[in-house]
Amino acid sequence: MTRPRLCITRRLSDATLERAARDYDLVVNHDDTPGSAGDLIAASAEFDAIIPCHSEHFSAEAVAQFSDRLRIVANHSVGVDHCDLPALKERGIAVTNTPDVLSDATAELAMLLMLGAARNAVAGDRIVRTGLWDSWSPAFMVGKQVTGARLGIIGMGRVGRAFAAKARGFNMDIHYYNRTELPEDKAQGATYHESVESLLGVADFLSLHCPATPDTTDLMNRNRFAMLPEGAVIVNTARGALVDEEALLAALETGQISAAGLDCFKVEPGGNPDFAKYDSIFMLPHIGSATRQTRDAMGFRALDNLDAFFSGKTPGDLL
């Protein structure tokens, strides 16, 4: 029996590639560079399936030029804002993602960013690392305390709930906005807000965990930053599109927010060079799910979806 031909666009975990090579006629982009629209169009004529990452963009224009051979795009990511889902559906191409398995890793990183931003991690590291730490006083590097503070979460899906669970260890007073109110077994005592605006007014710390959609682009803009308590801290481990970056800088300049912890940016890779001027912005290069355990789990989840599809079953993560 001929094995389905599979293209993996980036260098996934060794365990993932070993399993894929066992079960599929596999080609891997060992150069580990993002695939262009032209690369994806060419791949559609040569492969039955593609496992891409968020770095590959399945635009309507590219998908319209796809060959009929390609049958499934099994994303190695939870977010699918890089995929034009209606265009893929119109071509009869199945699309899956990898939910659940990266929730804890991303929530851990959100906690790191929140603590680092609140407690001056960037300036502190720089001062010690460059030999500038030559004095101390009670007024030296005073930050914002997390324990017992009010935490606002926008998007109480899997990652948002995992972050809330970790925040409870700091006795934080958790508030959330979600499209729908959660049942109590999932809310775990968190206070529901029917609007983003209501939530912002109580969020001493704000963490974003919602997808990037046309409705959430620039979710945090000048008007909404102004609704936060003065000196609030914002954390974003979701998507860079959620934050108006000029508005963020303006809010930092006025003291409306005291710090930010960011793992994602409007432009990736690269980020916003203007952010480097601010010790109050603690930044990481979009590595929320970057643990060995999670990378294996994401790869295996994508392969599980392919296995189901090619055995005639409905993939568990079909979108």
User: Into how many domains does the chain fold?
Assistant: 2
- Model pLDDT, residue 303: 98
Please check whether residue 319 lies inside any domain of the structure.
no
- Tell me the residue length of the chain: 319
Quick one: average pLDDT of 16-41? 97
pLDDT tens digits for range 254-296: 999 999 999 999 999 999 999 999 999 999 999 999 999 999 9
Same structural domain, 62 and 143: no
- Model pLDDT, residue 209: 98
Please check whether residue 315 lies inside any domain of the structure.
no
Quick one: average pLDDT of 105-131? 98
- Model pLDDT, residue 213: 93
Is 306's pLDDT higher than 90? Answer: yes
Same structural domain, 118 and 216: yes
Same structural domain, 209 and 302: no
CB count in 10 Å sphere of residue 137: 7
Please check whether residue 110 lies inside any domain of the structure.
yes
Residue 176's Cβ-count burial label (10 Å; 0-12, 13-18, 19+) is buried
pLDDT tens digits for range 88-98: 999 999 999 99
Calpha distance 37→51 (Å, rounded): 15
Same structural domain, 14 and 86: yes
Contact, 44 vs 67, CB < 8 A?
yes
- Model pLDDT, residue 153: 98
Tell me which of 71, 239, 295, 301 is the catalytic residue.
239
Same structural domain, 110 and 148: yes
- The runs of H, that is alpha helices, within 152-291 are 158-167, 184-187, 196-200, 222-225, 245-254
CA dihedral 59, 64, 69, 75 (to 10 degrees): 10
Contact, 97 vs 75, CB < 8 A?
yes
- Model pLDDT, residue 77: 95
Quick one: average pLDDT of 145-164? 98
> Which pLDDT band, with edges at 50, 70 and 90, does 12 fall under?
very high
Judge whether 239 counts as a catalytic residue. yes
Please check whether residue 318 lies inside any domain of the structure.
no
Please check whether residue 218 lies inside any domain of the structure.
yes
Please check whether residue 113 lies inside any domain of the structure.
yes
> Which pLDDT band, with edges at 50, 70 and 90, does 53 fall under?
very high
What CATH number should be reported for the domain holding residue 195?
3.40.50.720
Calpha distance 81→72 (Å, rounded): 17
Same structural domain, 146 and 266: yes
Calpha distance 41→35 (Å, rounded): 10
Quick one: average pLDDT of 36-52? 97
Please check whether residue 316 lies inside any domain of the structure.
no
To the nearest 5 percent, what fractions of the chain are helix, strand and coil? Answer: 35, 15, 45
Judge whether 286 counts as a catalytic residue. yes
- Copy the structure tokens of residue 135: 């004095």
Same structural domain, 137 and 73: no
Supply the range of the domain harboring residue 55. 5-97+292-310
- Model pLDDT, residue 223: 98
Same structural domain, 67 and 128: no
Tell me which of 46, 194, 197, 268 is the catalytic residue.
268
Indicate the pTM of the whole model.
0.93
Same structural domain, 88 and 112: no
Same structural domain, 73 and 155: no
Same structural domain, 198 and 233: yes
Please check whether residue 55 lies inside any domain of the structure.
yes
Tell me which of 10, 286, 295, 301 is the catalytic residue.
286
> Which pLDDT band, with edges at 50, 70 and 90, does 244 fall under?
very high
Is 247's pLDDT higher than 80? Answer: yes
Is 1's pLDDT higher than 90? Answer: no
Judge whether 119 counts as a catalytic residue. no
Same structural domain, 91 and 114: no
